[in-house]
């Protein structure tokens, strides 16, 4: 594997077509109309607004026509105070996730992974874990901001993330990660292929093909294809071993969450590295125990801010997942607590956010 160059010229034809959020949204509409799940839209402006609705055009979520078109046509109140406030809260937390967590982690990840030859396996492993968190904070942060903008304007968009790293299996992960894409793939690829209403082997094949297409959607590179295939294979293995759900109590759940996180983390290495050989070398380095166990730590000024961002994100996601009624801050009954939260989050963004010229990771897809 090492020393070979992996190019995928055969897929470059797909680039001009633009396998993107925009195309998937339009394709979904086309199939819905074809299969008579959705009436054809006769008003061109309404259709044009649906496919090019500005908050979601760059990086999703991929909205279904059945969700958006009725909202565009409905007579709605001119302004909904509650919705607008909810929308602004989503934008604020989304921005925190993006600039305080994701972009700060990016400083470490972008130092270590492109130059993995200079760093120990432990540093590469830490960088891969941080990338796993970075891509979540980046993409979920963007999606939350898109949803928030929509909500402020009075539109409900598709929920895209539901705390994916608390998933108990890779199958569960895909119910929580990029929900609009996995729903699209399920509705327009997996189910038309036969879904699970077929033989067991055919079902496994359907899962594999669905995630192979998911990989191809992300880019014309073998790394994305391997990433998609890995996710397909993990889910097939879970299905064979009946490990899609968790029936092991609290400790078992914690173990399953950790195992799922590590599997997803392993697959992200392929997603992040520019070529298969690079991904292979990074993994090889992680498991090279002859290297010292030292971790590169960028102490000043990144470490405290990295810890701060990750801790706050973890607490928020943990609370939302396991005890949503406890410790409400942005939704507290007391005005001063709500306002203190808004102000301190904004201050954190200004003081600890990485406000450079970083692009959203998923803007590339």
Partner 1 sequence: MRKFIAKIGLFFVLMVIIDFAVGIGMRYTTARIAQGGVARDNYICNTVADDVLIFGSSRAEHHYNAQMISDSLGLSCYNCGESGCGIILAYGRLLMLLERHKPKVVIYEITPGYDYLLGGDNHKFLYRLKQHYERKGIDSIFWNVDATERFKMLSWMYRYNSSFLQNIVAAYLHISTDTGIKGFRPMVTPFDSLKVRDIQTFYEDEDSFQYDPLKMSYFNRFLDKTAAIKTFFVASPIWYGMNTAVFKPIKEICEQRNIPFLDFSNDPKYVHNSTYFADGNHLNAVGADEFTRDLIHKLKKLECPR
Q: Which two tokens stand for residue 186?
A: 């399920």
16-24, 111-119, 142-150, 169-177 -> range binding partner 1 (CB under 8 A): 111-119
* Tokens 């958006």 -> residue: 68
Q: Would you give the binding string for partner 1 spanning residues 211-230, x where CB under 8 A is met?
A: --------------------
Site for partner 1 in 17-76 (CB under 8 A): none
Our answer to whether residue 218 is catalytic in this structure is yes
Q: For 9, which DSSP code? A: G
Residue 110 and residue 138: Cα distance in Å, rounded?
A: 14
Residue 295 and residue 278: Cα distance in Å, rounded?
A: 20
Q: Which is nearer to partner 1, 138 or 317 (CB)?
A: 138
Give me the half-sphere count of Cα atoms (radius 13 Å) on the Cβ side of residue 298: 18
Of 13, 81, 251, 336, the one binding partner 1 (CB under 8 A) is: 81
Q: Which is nearer to partner 1, 192 or 292 (CB)?
A: 292
Site for partner 1 in 323-352 (CB under 8 A): 339, 342-343, 346-347, 350-352
Q: Which is nearer to partner 1, 266 or 342 (CB)?
A: 342
Query: Is the peptide bond prior to 62 cis by the omega test (within 30 degrees of 0)?
Result: no
Q: Which two tokens stand for residue 361?
A: 């990771």
Q: Which two tokens stand for residue 115?
A: 């130059």
Task: Number of residues interacting with partner 1: please give it, by CB under 8 A.
Answer: 30
| Torsion sign, CA atoms 278, 283, 287, 289 | positive
Does position 86 interact with partner 1 (CB under 8 A)? The reply is no
Does position 363 interact with partner 1 (CB under 8 A)? The reply is no
8 A C-beta contact, residue 354 and residue 103:
yes
Find the shortest distance in angstroms from Cβ 80 to partner 1.
10
Q: Which is nearer to partner 1, 150 or 353 (CB)?
A: 353
Find the shortest distance in angstroms from Cβ 343 to partner 1.
6
State the catalytic residue, choosing from 7, 178, 218, 242: 218
Residue 347 and residue 355: Cα distance in Å, rounded?
A: 13
* H or E element in which residue 284 lies: helix 276-286
Does position 2 interact with partner 1 (CB under 8 A)? The reply is no
Residue 68 and residue 155: Cα distance in Å, rounded?
A: 8
| Torsion sign, CA atoms 283, 274, 142, 52 | negative
19-27, 46-54, 239-247, 293-301 -> range binding partner 1 (CB under 8 A): 293-301
Does position 301 interact with partner 1 (CB under 8 A)? The reply is yes
Q: Which residues are catalytic?
A: 218
The footprint of partner 1 (CB under 8 A) covers 78-79, 81, 84-85, 115, 117-120, 292, 294, 300-301, 304-305, 339, 342-343, 346-347, 350-358
């Amino acid at each position: 594997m090492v020393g070979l160059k992996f190019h995928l010229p055969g897929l470059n034809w797909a680039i001009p077509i633009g396998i993107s959020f925009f195309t998937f949204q339009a394709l979904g509409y086309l199939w819905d109309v074809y299969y008579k799940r959705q009436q054809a839209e006769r008003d061109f402006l309404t259709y044009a607004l649906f496919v090019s609705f500005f908050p979601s055009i760059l990086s999703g979520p991929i909205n279904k026509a059945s969700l958006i078109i009725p909202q565009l046509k409905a007579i709605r109140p001119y302004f909904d105070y509650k919705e607008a406030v909810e929308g602004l809260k989503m934008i604020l937390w989304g921005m925190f996730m993006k600039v305080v967590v994701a972009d700060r982690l990016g400083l470490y990840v972008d130092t270590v992974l492109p130059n993995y030859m200079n760093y120990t396996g432990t540093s590469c492993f830490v960088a891969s874990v941080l990338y796993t968190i970075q891509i979540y904070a980046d993409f979920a942060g963007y999606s939350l901001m898109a949803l928030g903008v929509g909500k402020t304007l009075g539109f409900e968009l598709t929920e895209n993330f539901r705390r994916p790293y608390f998933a108990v299996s890779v199958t569960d992960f895909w119910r929580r990660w990029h929900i609009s894409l996995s729903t699209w793939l399920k509705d327009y690829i997996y189910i038309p292929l036969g879904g699970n209403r077929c033989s067991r082997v055919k079902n496994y094949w359907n899962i594999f093909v669905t995630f192979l297409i998911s990989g191809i959607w992300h880019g014309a590179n073998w790394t994305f294809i391997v990433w998609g295939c890995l996710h397909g294979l993990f889910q097939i293995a879970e299905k064979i071993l009946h490990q899609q759900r968790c029936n092991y109590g609290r400790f078992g759940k914690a173990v399953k969450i950790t195992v799922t996180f590590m599997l997803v983390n392993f697959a992200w290495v392929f997603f992040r590295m520019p070529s298969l050989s690079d991904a292979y070398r990074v993994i090889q380095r992680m498991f090279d125990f002859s290297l010292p166990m030292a971790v590169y730590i960028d102490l000043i000024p990144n470490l405290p801010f990295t810890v701060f961002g990750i801790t706050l994100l973890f607490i928020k996601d943990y609370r939302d997942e396991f005890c949503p009624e406890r410790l409400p801050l942005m939704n507290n009954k007391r005005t001063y607590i709500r306002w203190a939260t808004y102000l301190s989050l904004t201050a954190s963004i200004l003081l600890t956010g990485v406000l450079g010229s970083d692009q959203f990771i998923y803007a590339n897809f």
